[in-house]
Amino acid sequence: MTSMNDHDLAVWLAEQAGAELLEVRRTGLEGKALKDAGDAASQAVLARLLAEHRPEDAVLSEEAADDSARRSARRVWIIDPLDGTREFSEPPRDDWAVHVALWEDGDLVAGAVAQPALGETFSTARPATVPPRTDGPMRIAVSRSRPPAFVDALAAKTGAQLVPMGSAGVKVMSVVRDLADVYVHAGGQYEWDSAAPVVVARVAGLFTSRADGRALEYNRDSPWLPDLLVCRHEFADEVAAFVRDHGDDS
């Protein structure tokens, strides 16, 4: 695996962690105990495999202490061992994911988003092809439990349809999969929430930016990156302009 290219390694890492998470789900744990066990198990797999196969690279993970040395590193793996912990803890839900991305020399260069319960991995190793859009209203992926008010306002203005679902990675992949046209979020995210989904969406030909259209930047001093827009290019200007003009919930 050490000689594997970064794109294929990202896929393998995400799938190994995903397989472990499926095993954790079979233990019979419930609620917080299942959430905690999933977070810990996936982090352990990813940390061990990255240390073994990319020992010189830095790592930024949701489930580990942030080492400031990553700021001077050329290569940083940005990982979310379990994106959508709540959904993971509610079998048989499949809208949770494992994120593995590589940042190198200033930008994201490789990544994978595994949806283990769906049996799918989306990656830069095998870029997805987004099919042509069918007729109908704009479809916006939103949180099933706490959709932001500004998205309701955007939908009211544009006549868009809101499509509720789980984790951030799943929402971005819904645009890749043509289940939605837009995912716009503001008010609370970190780099590990979006890094892998963003690089996978980019190679699929989708538009990615901050919610108001500004460029996304990763491996910054603070990993806080609170907003995101991933969409088909034909909707990018309209959605970003709405956020700039009307604000958001952050």
pLDDT tens-digit profile of 88-98? Answer: 999 999 999 99
pLDDT > 90 fraction of the chain, expressed in percent and rounded: 89
What pLDDT does 148 receive? 75
User: In this structure, are residues 34 and 88 in contact, taking their beta carbons and an 8 Å threshold?
Assistant: yes
The tens digit of pLDDT for each residue in 128-184 reads 999 888 889 999 999 876 667 889 999 999 999 999 998 999 999 999 999 999 999
User: In this structure, are residues 232 and 133 in contact, taking their beta carbons and an 8 Å threshold?
Assistant: yes
What pLDDT does 83 receive? 97
**Both tokens assigned to 153:** 């306002």
Beta bridge partners of 183: 141, 230
The answer for residues whose C-beta is within 8 angstroms of residue 97's C-beta and 6 or more apart is 80, 83, 84, 113, 114, 115, 116, 167, 169, 170, 173
| CA separation for the pair 64, 38 (Å, rounded) | 14
**Which letter, b or e, does each residue of 152-180 get, where b requires 16 or more Cβ atoms within 10 Å of its Cβ?**
eebbeebebebbebbbbbbbbbbbbbbeb
Per-residue pLDDT at 119 exceeds 90: yes
Over residues 72-87, the mean pLDDT reads: 97
**Both tokens assigned to 227:** 């907003």
What pLDDT does 249 receive? 57
Q: Which helix (H) or strand (E) holds 78?
A: strand 75-83
Over residues 32-51, the mean pLDDT reads: 98
Q: 213: which DSSP letter?
A: S
Average of per-residue pLDDT values in the chain: 95
Per-residue pLDDT at 87 exceeds 70: yes
Per-residue pLDDT band for 2 (boundaries 50, 70, 90) equals: low
User: Shortest CA distance to 202 belongs to which of 85, 132, 108?
Assistant: 108
Over residues 221-242, the mean pLDDT reads: 96
- The CA-based angle 118-122-125, given to 5 degrees, is 145
